[in-house]
Structure 1
Amino acid sequence: MGINTNEIVIEEEDVLTYAGSLPAPNVQELVRRDPSHVPERYLRNKEDMPKKTDTAAHLSSEIPVIDLTLLSKGQEEELKKLNLACKDWGFFQVVNHGVAKEVLQGMKDAASGFFELPLEEKNKYSMDSNDIQGYGHTYVVSEEQKLDWTDTLLLIIYPSQYRKLKFWPTAPKEFKEIVETYSTGIRKVAEELLGSLSLVLGMDKDALIQQHKEVVQALRVNYYPTCCKPDQVLGISPHSDKTSITILMQDDLSGLQILHDTKWVPVMPIPNALVVNVGDVLEIWSNAKYKSVQHRVVTNKDKARISYATGIVPPNDAEIEPLDHMVDSQQPFKIYNKVRYGEYIKHSLKMKMEGKTHLEKFKNERVG
C-alpha cells in the first residue's frame, strides 16, 4: 500500500492550518548588515550552551548506518539494525536510498538560490500569522524568549491538496520542479522505512501507513548564517520532532547534535546519505519502545549552512495512541493518552522549543 499523494491541487486558506508564530528578525539580514554584532535576543546563558564535557564527538562513528537496499529486501540483519537504531539511538543514517546524487544536489542548489535572493523577494513568501507554511520563523511564542539563529522556508508537499502555492517560490525558476522531484524521492524512502518499521514492530508492512490515515509530508529548509559568537547562540534549540519520522539531508558541514546517554553527539555528514530520526508520533505508537530523541543545531563563524528536513506526519484528524500490542509485560500500560494529531501539533507549536516538555501533557497519569 503506497502513500497517497492525490495530485489534485486545491489551494484553500483553511486547509490543514497549524498554529502561527510571532514575527522575528531575519537572521540572514542581520548578518549582512553587521556580521560583527549579535542582538541580545539570540545570546544564551552559559548553562544553555554546549560544553566540552557535555559533548562526545568520539561517538559520532557509532551512530547506526542503515543500507536501504538491504532493508527493502527484508534482510534480517538489516531489520535488526533498524530496530536497535530506533531503540538505542532514535537516529540513524541511510545509505543506498535510491535518491540520485543529481537530485540531492539540485535541491541544494535551488534552496541556495532562494536564500540568495534579496530580502524583499523572499518576504513575498512570508508566513501568515496563523500558520507555519512559508518563509519566516516557527516556535516564537513570546517577545522575551531567546531566538534561534536560523531562517526557515516551510512547505507542505503531499497530499497536493494541502499545498498553499502562494508560499512556493518562483525563483529560482526551476524551484518547484526540483522540490517535486526531491520530495517524490524522499517519499519513497519514507514509504520503505515505514514498511520496515511496521515489520520490526510486529505488524504487517502497511500497518504504519494505515495508522496515518493519510500521510502528510512537509519540507522545512533551514538557513543558518555564519555567527561571530557561535559559542553563545544556537541554530535550533534542543527539541524532539513532532513527526512520525523525519528524513534530513545535511549540508557538507556538521552542525546537528543529538542527545545520547546525557552527551551531545555530532552527526557527521556522510556524502549523499540521509539522516532519519524517530518522531513523537512513533514514540507514542510504539508505547515508548522507540523514543524521539532531543537534538539541536550549533553554528559556526566561517560558513553558512542549510539543512533540508522532511517531516512525515498524520493529518490533523488522525487519532494517535499506543498500539494495543505494544502494551506487554515490559510496559504493562499505555504511557500516552489518545490525542488527535491536530490538537497535539497545535499545542506543541504554542510552546517554545524546550526539549520534550510539549510531550509531557499527553502522558498517562500513571507515569511518574
Structure 2
Amino acid sequence: MGWGKSLPVPSIQEIVRNDSNSVPERFIQEENDRPKLVSENLPDDSLEIPVIDFSLLANEDENERRKLDLACKEWGFFQITNHGIEKEVLLQMKTAVAAFFELPIEEKMKYAMAANDIQGFGQSEALDKYSTEIQKVAAEIYANLSVLMGLERDGLIKLQGELKQGIRMNYYPTCSRPDLVLGISPHSDGGALTLLLQDDEITGLQIKHKESWVNVKPIPDALVVNIADALEILSNGVYKSIEHRAITNEKKERISIAAFVLPDEQREIGPLETMVDELHRPRMYRKIKYIDYIMQFLAKKLQGKAHTDIVKLEIK
C-alpha cells in the first residue's frame, strides 16, 4: 500500500521451533510492562466487555442500539453474537490460517510481503467469502453508529468514502515464559473499526479498562469489535479507541484473525459537527487527511495511545 514498512524481526515461530525453552532478550518486557500471571495479580475476571446481539441491531432495535452506544463510550470494545456469518465460513477461515502457519518457513516465504511493506505474508488463502461477510457486518455497525452520531444511516460511509478492509492473521506460538513477554504490545488501532475472530479456547486478548487489564474471554463464533482511532477522532473523543494487547500461553499456540475497516486514504478525518459542542465538548482534534494520519501511525512504534496525540488540539 506504500504506507510504510515495519522493522524486520526474526520469525518467532521459527525461534520456538528451534528452541522452545529460551526467550530472546529483545522480547523480554520491562518489569512494569510484563503481564501479571501470578494469582493475586490476575486481571479482574469479574469484568467482561459488553455483548451485543447483532440480529437485534440489524433490526434497528433501540435498546440494542443504546447498548452499542454505551459500549463504545465506556469500553471501546464489545463482542457481537448472532452476526449471521455461517459457522462453516468461520471454521474454514481458521483452518486455512492454521494450515498456512504449519508450512515450513521456506514455503511461507514464497508469499512474503514486499520489502517496502509491513512484515508478514501475503493473503494467499481463500478470503473472499469471509471478507465479504465481514464487510456486511461492518457496514451495519457503521449504519448504527451513524444514527447515534446524528447522521443518516449511510452518513459515515459517505464521509469516509468506500470502506477498505485489511486482514491480518496472527499466530502466537507457545512460550516457555509467558510472564516475561507479550504477544503484541499495548496499542490502539489506526483504522476506523476492527473485527476480530478469536481462538475459541484460549484467552489471549486483554484490553485496558479504567487503568486495569481485562481479559476478553472468547465466546464461540462471536466477533470482537473495537473502535479504532479514526472513529475516536470523528466522534470527537466520545467513542473510545482503547489500548489492547495479547499475552502468550505456555501450553498451546493461538491464532486470531483481525479485519481492519479503513477510511478512504484521501478523505479527511476530523470531529463531526454533530459531535462538537463548544460549551460542553469543544473540538478535541484537528482535521487530517487519513493517508497522512496512517503514515504517521505506522512510522511510530506501538506505544499505547501515543498515535492520537498527533492530531489532538490543546484545550485551554
Tell me the TM-score normalized by structure 2.
0.96
In the alignment, the residues of structure 2 paired with residue 299 and residue 331 of structure 1 have an alpha-carbon distance, to the nearest angstrom, of 43
In the alignment, the residues of structure 2 paired with residue 189 and residue 97 of structure 1 have an alpha-carbon distance, to the nearest angstrom, of 7
CA displacement at 1:331 relative to structure 2: 4.1
Summarize the alignment of residues 95-244 of structure 1 with structure 2, pairs less than 5 Å apart.
95-132=81-118, 136=120, 153=121, 167-169=122-124, 175-176=125-126, 179-244=127-192
In the alignment, the residues of structure 2 paired with residue 245 and residue 306 of structure 1 have an alpha-carbon distance, to the nearest angstrom, of 20
1:19 is aligned to 2:4:
yes
In the alignment, the residues of structure 1 paired with residue 221 and residue 70 of structure 2 have an alpha-carbon distance, to the nearest angstrom, of 23
Alignment length (residue pairs):
312
- Code of the residue aligned with 1:168 in structure 2: it is Q
- Superposed CA deviations along residues 314-350 of structure 1, whole A, max 9, x for unmatched, are 1221110000111116644210111111111111111
CA contact (8 A) 2:35 2:181 kept: no
CA contact (8 A) 2:192 2:229 kept: yes
Structure 2 counterpart of 1:84, from 70, 77, 101: 70
2:314 is matched with which residue? Answer: 365
CA displacement at 1:71 relative to structure 2: 0.4
What SS does the aligned partner of 1:105 have?
helix
CA displacement at 1:366 relative to structure 2: 2.5
In the alignment, the residues of structure 2 paired with residue 35 and residue 211 of structure 1 have an alpha-carbon distance, to the nearest angstrom, of 49
CA contact (8 A) 1:212 1:315 kept: yes
CA contact (8 A) 1:54 1:262 kept: no
In the alignment, the residues of structure 2 paired with residue 30 and residue 97 of structure 1 have an alpha-carbon distance, to the nearest angstrom, of 38
- Code of the residue aligned with 2:35 in structure 1: it is P
In the alignment, the residues of structure 2 paired with residue 108 and residue 320 of structure 1 have an alpha-carbon distance, to the nearest angstrom, of 34
- CA distance 1:78–1:32, shift in 2 (3 Å): same
- Code of the residue aligned with 1:46 in structure 2: it is E
Structure 2 counterpart of 1:272, from 205, 217, 221: 221
1:143 is matched with which residue? Answer: none
CA contact (8 A) 1:89 1:293 kept: yes
102-111 or 330-339: bigger deviation:
330-339
Q: Any stretches of 5+ residues in structure 1 without a counterpart?
A: 1-15, 137-152, 154-166, 170-174
1:326 is aligned to 2:275:
yes
1:148 is matched with which residue? Answer: none
Structure 1 counterpart of 2:263, from 308, 314, 317: 314
What SS does the aligned partner of 1:58 have?
coil
- Superposed CA deviations along residues 25-81 of structure 1, whole A, max 9, x for unmatched, are 000000000001111110112111123547212212xx1111111001111100100
In the alignment, the residues of structure 1 paired with residue 32 and residue 305 of structure 2 have an alpha-carbon distance, to the nearest angstrom, of 18
In the alignment, the residues of structure 1 paired with residue 41 and residue 72 of structure 2 have an alpha-carbon distance, to the nearest angstrom, of 25
Q: Any stretches of 5+ residues in structure 2 without a counterpart?
A: none
Matched residues, percent identical?
Answer: 50
What SS does the aligned partner of 1:309 have?
strand
Runs of 4+ in 1 over 4 A off after TM superposition: none
